[in-house]
Amino acid sequence: MSTARYAVFGHPISHSLSPRIHSAFAHQLGIALEYTAIDAAPVDFATALERFAGEGGRGANVTLPLKEAAFALCARTSDRARRAGAVNTLTRNDGQWHGDNTDGAGLVRDLTSRQGLDLRARRALLLGAGGAARGVAPALLDAGIAELVIVNRSPERADALADALGEPERAHSRYWQDMRDLGDFELIVNATSAGRGDGNGFSAPLSLVNSRTLAVDVNYGEAAIDFLAWARAAGCHDVVDGLGMLVEQAAEAFEHWHGVRPQTDAVYAALRERDPVLVTAD
């Protein structure tokens, strides 16, 4: 019997920890699989995905900047993928791709189970409106936050995400330049590349922070350094990067493909211990 083939698609993708994570899960559970990283620019993604399917690919994870493109290529999508308008987990069924989005579930599980944080009734600010933000926004609402304010440098993207969530009483879009007037938040989630690698760091008004603020970056490692540094300097009560989210969303995908959920704590601890500063986010 041939080994089952899985992959993660992104651009760039050489940094990805997903092959290491899924290999660890498979070893833990005695499942034979091949999991590789495939670099595909947006213009080449559909062709690369079909080639992978033709070579026996059974499932794939999708990272930046392909999550919304993956959604468009699916014959069927889960409810949470449709709410997000983005897909990060693909499964090959009957010659078609079926799409899911495990990002939000991964984030909430990390924050509530691993970090022991309560998200209920928090006023939340979501920075960004791309594939990563779309993946986590519905799950934050489902976790019981009181309000979600979405801010993006391209305001029409923030408007579109707020409209797609379908909860006008709780989810709103605002302008990036108006953040000083938004008040303070108990949860700030960074799902942007703001400040990353431009030498200017991350900057936002300190008035966004109160004594209870939880600051979360969906990125991890070097990609999260600037935002996390700002959050600590601003006096946020809790500061969390996206490594735990990455491991938990991978576990969701693994369970979807193989019918059994792996244990995540040991894999998370090994990644954190081996690479105190990791490369970037999936």
* Residue 63 in marked binding region: yes
* Residue 226 in marked binding region: no
* Residue 263 in marked binding region: no
* Residue 103 in marked binding region: yes
* Residue 96 in marked binding region: no
* Residue 10 in marked binding region: no
* Residue 218 in marked binding region: yes
67, 80, 109, 122: which is the annotated catalytic residue? 67
Does residue 67 have an active-site annotation?
yes
* Residue 18 in marked binding region: yes
Other Cβ atoms within 10 Å of 256 Cβ, number: 16
* Residue 35 in marked binding region: no
Phi/psi for 135 (5° steps) reads -70, -35
* Residue 268 in marked binding region: no
Q: Which residues are annotated as a binding site for NADP(+)?
A: 79, 128-132, 218, 242
The residues assigned a catalytic role are: 67
Q: Which residues are annotated as a binding site?
A: 16-18, 63, 79, 88, 103, 128-132, 218, 220, 242, 249
Q: Which residues are annotated as a binding site for shikimate?
A: 16-18, 63, 88, 103, 220, 249
